[in-house]
Structure 1
Amino acid sequence: MAEPATSETGRGEQTKRLIVQTAVRLFRDQGYDKTTMRGIAQAAGLSVGNAYYYFPSKDHLVQEFYGTIQEEAVAACADRLAAAGPFDERLRVAWTSLVQVMRPYHAFAGRFIKTAVEPGSPLSPFSAESAPARERAMGILRDVVEGSTTKIDPELRVDLPELLWLCQMGLTLYWVHDMSPDQAKTDLLVDRAVPLIDRLVALARVPGLRSVNREALKLYRMLR
């Protein structure tokens, strides 16, 4: 009895993947607003009812796409983060892996960024709807911090993964607008930003700067 269930699950995952891949292509070719669930279903060779069975709306479909990106990023850096190592090396692995995973979707990303950054949009990375993908992203950064052999101020360590995620959002936005060949400037940004962040993390342990660090963290927690 277990085999049919497994087979059915496999077919369902294949159908979901097909719908997401078709939607990404249509979003890229004709824009998010002009793409309909009916159009996605037709392009995928599925019934409209079948498409809605897996994704009640375009927003749900984009959330699945967000999640897929993060899952691919986890897989891309898992082996290199398996062993403990210096903070800067681990952060570089996480961010370079994410950029590599996102690279094939660069043309598509610019098409719906206006919708994603609109306040209150369910497609915003800060929305409740984006929580699963956001949690996956922060999971990678928690792994970066937890596996670090670099000494990190205990109080900063608590919020550091979320602070890194906010930096990652800035990195992603820059990548979306980066029109250099193969987004080479984004690679340069990662290359230069990681050592800078590593230094800032180290400075948080300097006795004379700890009070400044505490005040900054207090303000961050108030505004979160």
Structure 2
Amino acid sequence: MTAKSEQTRQLVIDTALGMFRERGFEKTTMRAIAQEASISLGSAYYYFESKDDLVQELYSRIQLEHRATAINAIRTESSLSKRLQAVFAAGFTVMEPYHDFGTAFLQTAISPSNTASPFHEASSDSREDAIELFRLALDGASPATPASLRQDLPELLWLGYMALVFFWVNDRSENQYRSKALANGIAPLITRLLTLAKLPIARKVVEDAVSLIRKARS
């Protein structure tokens, strides 16, 4: 892709995301994006076949901003609970401008066959970036992750975070207060569960649960 072509592609992305924030997802058409960007409709479709492809770009951008926002807290905090609270809060912060069209985004995200879904193979790079953020949060934190969970816990935390995002999308409380309160409460609960997972009486239950999840993924 030439420099001019890359510049045009970036223009389409920036224009679309701005219109998503201002007009909402449903009211933003490919034609409107092309008009706002002062390019032909054919040029817009050359780079993106549909709005769903632009949602994929949004997902990728959010992952980059999420990491940049959360990384300082991860580096300066040793408490796993505080690290997770920071990661959850950072996610809500970077998604805030897009909350009003979150329902449309959710409809896209929950369809695994849609390339814009975080669960689709096309989203694997962004998904791995998101999982890596939780791996960083776990690395060196207190309490330490039990050896039996080190491989799977980052992805399990990401899946839990996605559940929080789905709740946040439908949260109509002021400034999504309920979602933030839920996230702040879940973080210390996860920490306590990890501590319990080290005890012989609970270790086998945890290992069995992880084994079931592995089978479901395979």
Task: Tell me the TM-score normalised to structure 1 length.
Answer: 0.86
Q: Are the aligned partners of 1:81 and 1:147 in contact in 2 as well (CA < 8 Å)? A: no
Contact 1:27–1:111 (CA under 8 A) maintained in structure 2: no
Mapped to 1, the partners of 2:168 and 2:99 lie a distance apart of: 8
For residues 64-143 of structure 1, the aligned pairs below 5 Å read 64-83=57-76, 85-143=78-136
Separation in 1, partners of 2:75, 2:65:
16
1:67 offset after TM fit, Å?
0.5
Q: How far is 1:139 from its partner?
A: 1.4
Structure 1 spans left out of the alignment, 5+ residues: none
Moved over 6 A (4+): none
1:16–1:201 distance in 2 versus 1, CA, 3 Å: farther
Instruction: Return the offset for 1:19.
Output: 2.0
Distance in 2 between the 1:112 and 1:97 partners? 19
Q: Is the contact between residue 41 and residue 47 of structure 1 (CA under 8 Å) also seen in structure 2?
A: yes
Does the 8 Å contact 2:143/2:194 carry over to 1?
no
Question: What is the distance in 2 between the residues matched to 1:161 and 1:81?
Answer: 14
Distance 2:125 2:134 in 1: 15
Q: Give RMSD over aligned pairs.
A: 2.3
Return the match for 2:160 from 152, 158, 167: 167
SS where residue 108 of structure 1 aligns? helix
8 Å Cα contact 2:143/2:191 also seen in 1: no
Q: CA deviation at 1:42?
A: 1.3
SS at match of 2:121: coil
Q: Partners of 1:181 and 1:18 in 2: how far apart?
A: 33
Task: Report how many aligned residue pairs link the two structures.
Answer: 215
Q: Could you say if the C-alpha distance between residues 82 and 54 of structure 1 is closer, same or farther in structure 2, counting changes exceeding 3 Å? A: farther
1:12 counterpart = 2:6? yes
Tell me, yes or no, if the aligned pair for 2:146 and 2:197 is still in contact at 8 Å: yes
Q: Deviations over 1:137-188 (max 9, x none)?
A: 1111111112324222101111000000110011000000000111111110
- Contact persistence 1:84–1:149 (CA under 8 A): no
% identity of equivalent residues? 40
Per-residue deviation, residues 58-80 of structure 1 (Å, max 9, x unmatched) = 33221111000111111111222
Alignment check: 8 A CA contact 1:85 1:148 kept: yes
Q: TM-score, structure 2 length as denominator?
A: 0.88
Bigger shift: 44-53 or 95-104? 44-53
Does residue 201 of structure 1 match 2:173?
A: no
